[in-house]
Structure 1
Amino acid sequence: MSGTDNLFETIAGYLTIRLGKVSLSPGDTVILVVTLAAALLCAFYLWRIGRQEDRRDRLMELRGPVVDRTVREQRPRWYQRIGTMVAASPAVGTAEQQRLLGVLAAAGIRGQGSLSGFVASKLCSAFIVGALFWLLLEWSQFFDGTATIRFAVVLAGMMLGWRLPDFVLSRLAARRRLEVELGLPDALDLLVICAEAGLSLDQAIEQVGVDLRTSSPAVADEFAMTASEMRVLPNRAEALENLIGRTGVPGLRSITATLNQTIRFGTPLAESLRVLAAEIRNTRLLRIEERAARLPVLLTIPLALFILPALMMVVSTPTVLRLSDTMQTNLGAF
């Protein structure tokens, strides 16, 4: 601790001599050194990005006008490139990349640059929260720690900022999962109508994705993605499994099993889907009844802490006052 503090004090004294009238505390020196290091690192990354762009442009010029215009239009932006570099670093790792891709898909965030953009937002959030922690330390009059402690607090703020977008993304994924779960019975009813109208399974799923654009956009988006995968993938059951993996809704497993039986064995689709829609509605009703049955247990603690003391005070206060008056009267008589 003392050796690190002496080092920062030496750097601060050197900067004071070089900068003249400007004096820096050891804590300010730590922040200045870290900021300069981060700026140099970002400048190095931007220099590497610029060199890669120059090489790509020279390659396109050598290839001539045959290059498709979409290659230039789909070039990722600068923050996505930085996010790609950070995602490829050991700070993220392959397993974390796969997890983030799954959560992004569950939240409805897809696209070529979704992962890199999200990692860039995590990096930006880390620097912003770290800067806020540093400002709070500078403006606070009750904290007077050493430079090492201040640096540790700022580092903890950066780690908190790095994890903050994960929390927001998980909340978005949970909200979208709830929207898909609430829209499943209507989607099954529309699938029954499409099946009874003579449409095939692919056409029925695509039509449901079109019809639910207004009432349930999350279900419409997932069904449209499933219909597109059914046209592309050689096995349609794989597209249905991808639907379960993206959403994580338990009710979709029974639906997927029914659709797989229809694909393999040609079983009647309309009647099975009608039964599934009724089961999903009954499951939702049972879940609501279960939550309603837990309300008395959940209200016990607030009742004991807030309502019962006030009730006892209201009931017992007149008796206590009357008893006090009686005792004063009797004592005065003696």
Structure 2
Amino acid sequence: MQTTGPTLMGIDVLWAATLLSAFATLCLVYAIYTALSVRDPMAKRVKALNERREQLKAGITASTSRRAKLKSASHATDRMRTLLASLKVLQESQLEDAQRKLVQAGIRSKDAAIAVIFGRLVLPIVIGGGAAFYIYGLDGFPEWGSFKKFALFAVALITSYKAPDLFVQNKISKRSKEIQKGLPDALDLLVICAEAGLTVDAAFNRVARELGKAYPELGDEFALTAIELSFLTDRRSAFENLAQRVALDAVRGVVTTMIQTEKYGTPLASALRVLSAEFRNERMMRAEEKAARLPAIMTVPLILFILPVLFIVILGPAACSISDNLIK
């Protein structure tokens, strides 16, 4: 390739700058498109919850098409359940624990608990057996010693066994963080609704609508709690279900406060206002803690990525000029 402009390490600087400018323009167009095409993440969930409420009112649990899908899915679940029961590895306590964690992860299908337990059984056999066959049967990694081969087999076996739990725990952690971000705002809105004279279920429903776009996970939980408050005879059960669905101590504190105000008749707005102030202080403390860790965290990226680029920007033109003068 014939170069007419300044070069750096044999690369035409103008050509490289043109490519980088085109890539930056493409990224900018994609960012604008993403910002303009934001969809409401709460609309689909609210629609599903409203359909479920109407079905419960009408005494219908599912439509015909949904029943067909559930029936096909239940056949696969029944096969897995039968296999696990025949091997005597399916325990009721284990099933309840898996269902509770899946609900905290936002997965409310009861069949998913069977799939998680089945994955714990099948994945070690498939992945661990495949690793053992490759390492010992096909003599994979012949230059490795026996200890390294056994360590690789053990890592593959343990990782495949823990993979379903790690996946569920990761979803629980992400969902809990998203709910924790919007909890102070939700409590402030609950205080406003309580002072405006709305009932508890109406207040939860209004907060779910208002915060559904910004915090869809929190809006989903509040909308489901509002539905349970309107259907269940015991309102305490609806609050306890909310505490079980969210793996956060802050939500448990809110549930305890709601139960106590229902039982003893204490003012709801003042109690929620105190909780909201505490949660905001905790959020500010977490932000200050992250800001205090930032200089130590930025040291390695600064040395590896920012300083070399800075040196290239400062010394690049001089290096190009020196290179052109030496070539001439």
Give the shorter-chain TM-score range: 0.5 to 0.7
User: By how many angstroms is 1:92 displaced?
Assistant: 3.9
Give per-residue Cα distances to partners, 1:283-334, cap 9 Å, x unaligned: 11123334555678x77xx89xx99xxxxxxxxxxxxxxxxxxxxxxxxxxx
Name 1:174's counterpart in structure 2.
Answer: 173
In structure 2, do the counterparts of structure 1 residues 202 and 136 end up closer, same or farther at CA, with 3 Å as the change threshold? same
Segments of structure 1 that go 5 or more residues without pairing to the other structure are: 1-67, 308-334
Aligned residue in 2 for 1:289: 288
Question: With CA pairs under 8 Å and 6+ residues apart, which has the higher RCO, 1 or 2?
Answer: 2
| Contact preservation (8 Å) 1:262, 1:269 | yes
User: 2 CA distance for matches of 1:152 and 1:273?
Assistant: 53
Report what 1:74 is aligned to.
Answer: 70
Which whole-Å CA distance do the structure 1 matches of 2:176 and 2:155 have between them?
A: 32
Equivalent residue for 1:130?
Answer: 128
CA distance in 2, matches of 1:79, 1:266: 49
> Structure 1 residues 253, 72: closer, same or farther in 2, change over 3 A?
closer
What TM-score do you get using the length of structure 1 for normalisation? 0.58
8 A contact 2:172–2:247 mirrored in 1: no
SS of alignment partner, residue 239 of structure 1: helix
The count of aligned residue pairs is: 234
CA root-mean-square deviation: 3.6
Distance 1:218 1:241, change over 3 A: same
Q: Give the distance between the partners of 2:210 and 2:130, measured in 1 at CA.
A: 47
Indicate the residue corresponding to 2:140 in structure 1.
140
Q: Percent identity?
A: 33
User: What is the rounded CA distance, in whole Å, between the counterparts of 1:287 and 1:144 in structure 2?
Assistant: 46
What code does the residue aligned with 1:170 have?
Answer: Q
2:18 is matched with: none
Cα deviation digits, residues 38-93 of structure 1 (max 9, x gap): xxxxxxxxxxxxxxxxxxxxxxxxxxxxxx95765531344323332355453242
* Aligned-residue offset at 1:155: 8.5
Equivalent pair of 1:229/1:239 in contact (CA under 8 Å): yes
Q: Which residue of 2 aligns with 1:197?
A: 196
- Normalized against structure 2, the TM-score is what? 0.59
The structure-2 alpha-carbon separation of the partners of 1:221 and 1:214, relative to structure 1 and needing over 3 Å to count, comes to same
Q: 1:242 to 1:108 in 2, by over 3 A?
A: same
Shift, 1:218, TM fit: 1.1
Q: Deviations over 1:252-311 (max 9, x none)?
A: 233223222332233332333223212110011123334555678x77xx89xx99xxxx
The ranges of structure 1 where at least 4 consecutive aligned residues each deviate by more than 6 angstroms after the TM superposition are 143-146, 150-156
Q: Secondary structure at the match of 1:80?
A: helix
Letter in 2 for 1:142: P
Q: Please give the alpha-carbon distance, in whole angstroms, between the structure 2 residues aligned to 1:209 and 1:86.
A: 41
Gapped regions of structure 2 (runs ≥ 5): 1-62, 305-328
Preserved CA contact (<8 Å) 1:82 1:116: no
Q: Structure 1: how far apart are the matches of 2:75 and 2:103? A: 23
Q: How does 1:1-334 map to 2 (within 5 A)?
A: 69=64, 72-75=68-71, 76-88=73-85, 89-130=87-128, 132-134=130-132, 136-137=134-135, 138=138, 140-142=140-142, 157-158=156-157, 160-293=159-292
Distance 1:141 1:249, change over 3 A: closer
Q: Over alpha carbons, which structure has the higher Rg? A: 1
Judged with a 3 Å threshold, the aligned counterparts in structure 2 of structure 1 residues 283 and 87 are, in CA distance, closer, same or farther, namely farther
Q: What is the deviation of 1:133?
A: 1.1
The answer on whether the counterparts of 2:99 and 2:110 sit within 8 Å (CA) in structure 1 is: no
User: Counterparts of 1:270 and 1:151 in 2: how far apart (Å)?
Assistant: 61
